[in-house]
A = this chain, B = another copy of it.
Amino acid sequence: MPREKSAITPHRSKGRPRTFDRAAALNRALDVFWRRGYEPASVAELCMAMEVNPPSLYAAFGNKAQLFMEAVHHYEKVYWDAAWQLLEEEPDLHRAMAGFFREAARILTSQDAPCGCMVVLGAANVSPDAQDVNDALKALRREGKDCFRHRLRKGVEDADLPSGTDVESLALTLNTVFEGMSVQARDGASQAELERIARTAMALLPARS
């Protein structure tokens, strides 16, 4: 009965084995980065939360930027993959969009503290020397926009939207609402408020012709 990951990752190589759970530590780091953002999260605070000393952190994750990227990756996988998949795979476009936004409202308010989406706000203010981190998040934001566009295009093909629909403008706008919801969430908007925003924005989708 092989397990994918034991609590303490087993070592088959030489050397002293790691004494902490890498996956658990990554989760703790994600929590800190999500709440604080990239730069305000200090390595000291990360170490505290991860219950690890700096040398162990650097040995396991490289440096702060790499740890952040890995945390974002994990964040996307744990929190958003299902939502994006729902958007893509639900056959009916209107239900797909409504479902995605409802899920987004849930995720954006799932933390006990209000922090919005890590991809949208996690590296909003960043020194010029950490520009690569911001660029990576920017690429992820672009992916989100592309998902909207792609799904809307499919909606037109499926005749869920009128053939004359301005897919490009609609994708841009829905993506803007989506990213705006992160700002709202960080300002303390409740799940119900975010759902209301989402439901209102759904009116932008033309009915089946």
Residues of A within 8 A of B (CB): 36-40, 120-128, 138, 141-142, 166, 168-170, 172-173, 175-184, 186-187, 193, 196-197, 199-201, 203-204
How distant is the Cα of A179 from the Cα of B182 in the complex, in angstroms? Answer: 9
- Nearest opposing residue in chain B for A168, CB measure: B196
User: Dominant SS at the A interface?
Assistant: helix
Contact of A199 with B169 in the complex, beta carbons under 8 Å = yes
Contact of B169 with A125 in the complex, beta carbons under 8 Å = no
Copy total for this chain = 2
23 contacts between A and B (CB under 8 A): A36-B127, A40-B126, A121-B124, A121-B125, A124-B124, A124-B125, A124-B186, A138-B187, A141-B187, A169-B196, A169-B197, A169-B199, A172-B197, A172-B200, A173-B197, A173-B200, A176-B177, A176-B180, A177-B180, A179-B184, A180-B181, A201-B204, A203-B204
Determine the chain B residues whose CB is within 8 A of the CB of A183 once the complex forms: 120, 141, 176, 179-180, 182-183
